[in-house]
Every structure is written in C-alpha cells, then in structure tokens.
C-alpha cells in the first residue's frame, strides 16, 4: 500500500471496557484513500470495537482507547467528538442498522444531514441517495418500521451519505439479510466508492462476501490482527479458506491454531 495515500492510520491501539476489560490488544491498520477495506473475524473478535474507536463512539459503551494513535490524513483524531468527526467526513453506520422506526425513510435520511445547513445541498444529497438507492425513493413515505431489513440497511447507509462523508465505517452490513440483498447492498457500496470516491471500512463476519467487494482485508481474532492482505490474496489463501470460508471442514479451532498446525505439518512432511 502506498503510504502517501493513507487516509486513516490506526496505530497500535488498545481499548479497555469498564476500566478493566482489555479488548483491543494493539490493533494497527491502514486505509488508503478511495479504498474498500474489510475487517474480518468471528464473534467478539473486536471488529465493532475497532470501528467505534475510530468514530469515537466508545464512551457510551464505557470503553476507552488507552494506548496507540488514530490519524486522519496525518492528524490525530482520538480526542475529537463523534460530531466533529462527522464534520471531517468520518461517519459510522452502526451494527443492527438503527433506523428510527417511527420515522419515514425520508425523515430518517434527513436526520443524516444534521451537520449541513444549506437547504439546496440537503436536497441535492437526498436526490443523490435516491439515485443510488432507487428502492428508498419508492419507500420514501413509508415508516421505517414497516420496511424490509434490506431497505433499513440501505436507509442506514443512505443516512450516512447525507452527511457528504469521505469515509464510511460500515458495521456488519450483511447481518440478517438474504444473500441476494447483501449483493445488492454491496453493489451500491461499490458504486458509491467508485463514483462518489467514498472510502469504506467494513466490519464483516461474512468473509466471502466482504472479500468479494473489498480491496484489502484485515483478519481479527481476540482483539488482534492475525493476518492481512489484498482481498484476492486472502480469498485464495488456504488457511483463510479452511477457517473462514468453510472449505475443508473439521472442527473450527482458533485461526492461530490452524496456522501452527499447518506449520507443524509442513515441518513434519
């Protein structure tokens, strides 16, 4: 990765919850401008915590970054409020979508422009979102509670786009959605990336789908990055396939165990 193009640089961060529980144990990752970077790993690996550390949304969870630095275009951002980060173009889409159930799709989208004041700009952003998500346009007057899971995920991403972001942090966009809808959502993400130059960082348990749509991936386990590489490299890597893509079968142990087991096998061969 060309270091000149790094827009987000997470350097050795530790995160502690409730003053005692060490959850991130020195996580480093780099996000290039205009890239789609996936953070992969199973339940509790630390993906959400990593995204929340970047967007400074840990406080509500009684979490804090106790070591390391996070830089946006070379500038430290650990102490900026979530609203300041939104103004600088960093917007997070939370796990579980979090649309306001009693608001319509359009009202939900408009809540995403709270950092914007120009009516013209807000209207233009709304048109832009409808252009990328035609489904949302047809559902604009529906209450979010009565829309499908896919539409709610689209609404959550659309709301982020309303803030004119340069980086969107997407937490488990595929969660609970049928494969076809996941593809639809990821295709739009890719479109926004290409045409609007939005950089994406996505946390995903769905390794297969995430690697299909991203350029680079980091695999997390127990609060550490255990492997990283170009998406096509990871997708074809034997250890990743065996452990995360369900090829090879067998009991799932730790990724680290799979790797050392393989190494041992190689030594013995």
Q: Footprint of Mg ion on this chain (CB under 5 A)?
A: 47-48
Q: Which does 18 bind (CB under 5 to 8 A by kind): Mg ion, ligand ATP, none?
A: ligand ATP
Ranges within 205-224 binding ligand ATP (CB under 6 A): 205
235 — alpha (psi -120 to 50), left (phi > 0) or beta? Answer: alpha
Q: How far is the CB of 128 from ligand ATP (least distance, A)?
A: 30
CB of 172 to Mg ion, least distance (A): 6
Which of 6, 8, 29, 49 is the binder for ligand ATP (CB under 6 A)? Answer: 49
Torsion of CA 141, 146, 151, 152, to 10 degrees: 100
> Which of 32, 46, 158, 165 is in the footprint of ligand ATP by CB under 6 A?
46
Question: 4: which residues sit within 8 A by CB, 6+ positions away?
Answer: none
Question: Residue from 13, 45, 85, 182 that binds ligand ATP (CB under 6 A)?
Answer: 45
Shortest CA distance to 219 belongs to which of 9, 41, 5?
A: 41
Exactly one of 12, 44, 96, 149 binds ligand ATP (CB under 6 A); that residue is: 44
**What φ, ψ does residue 140 adopt, rounded to 5°?**
-60, -30
Identify the H or E element spanning 221. Answer: strand 216-221
Nearer to Mg ion, 47 or 97 (CB): 47
Q: Taking Cα atoms as reference points, which of 43, 82, 77, 41 lies closest to residue 61?
A: 82
Does 61 help bind ligand ATP (rule: CB under 6 A)? yes
Query: Within 100-159, which residues bind ligand ATP (CB under 6 A)?
Result: none
What interhelical angle do 149-161 and 119-132 show, nearest 10? Answer: 140
Phi first, then psi: give them for residue 7, nearest 5 degrees: -95, -35
The distance from CA 221 to its chain's CA centroid, rounded to whole angstroms, is 16
55 binds ligand ATP (CB under 6 A): no
Binding status of residue 66 toward ligand ATP by CB under 6 A: no
53 belongs to the binding site for ligand ATP (CB under 6 A):
no
Q: Does the protein bind ligand ATP through residue 41 (CB under 6 A)?
A: yes
Which residues are near ligand ATP by CB under 6 A? Answer: 17-18, 21, 23, 41, 43-49, 61-63, 95, 205
């Amino acid at each position: 990765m060309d270091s000149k193009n790094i827009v987000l640089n997470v350097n050795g961060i530790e995160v502690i919850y409730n003053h005692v529980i060490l959850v991130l144990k020195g996580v480093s990752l780099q996000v290039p401008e205009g890239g789609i970077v996936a953070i992969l790993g199973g339940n509790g690996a630390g993906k959400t915590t990593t995204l929340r550390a970047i967007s400074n949304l840990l406080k509500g969870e009684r979490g804090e970054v106790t070591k390391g630095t996070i830089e946006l275009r070379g500038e430290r951002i650990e102490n900026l409020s979530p609203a300041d980060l939104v103004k600088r173009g960093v917007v997070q889409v939370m796990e579980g979508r979090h649309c306001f159930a009693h608001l319509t799709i359009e009202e939900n989208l408009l809540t995403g422009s709270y950092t914007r004041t120009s009516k013209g700009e807000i209207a233009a952003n709304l048109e832009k979102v409808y252009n990328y998500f035609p489904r949302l346009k047809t559902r604009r007057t529906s209450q979010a509670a009565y829309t499908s899971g896919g539409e709610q995920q689209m609404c959550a991403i659309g709301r982020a786009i309303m803030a004119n972001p340069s980086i969107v942090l997407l937490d488990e966009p595929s969660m609970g959605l049928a494969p076809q809808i996941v593809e639809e959502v990821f295709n739009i993400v890719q479109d926004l990336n290409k045409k609007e130059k939005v950089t994406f960082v996505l946390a995903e348990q769905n390794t297969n789908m995430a690697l299909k749509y991203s350029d680079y991936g980091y695999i997390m386990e127990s609060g550490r990055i255990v492997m990283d590489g170009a998406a096509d490299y990871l997708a074809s890597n034997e250890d990743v396939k065996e452990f995360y893509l369900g090829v090879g079968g067998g009991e799932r142990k730790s990724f680290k165990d799979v790797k050392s087991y393989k190494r041992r096998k190689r030594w013995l061969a």
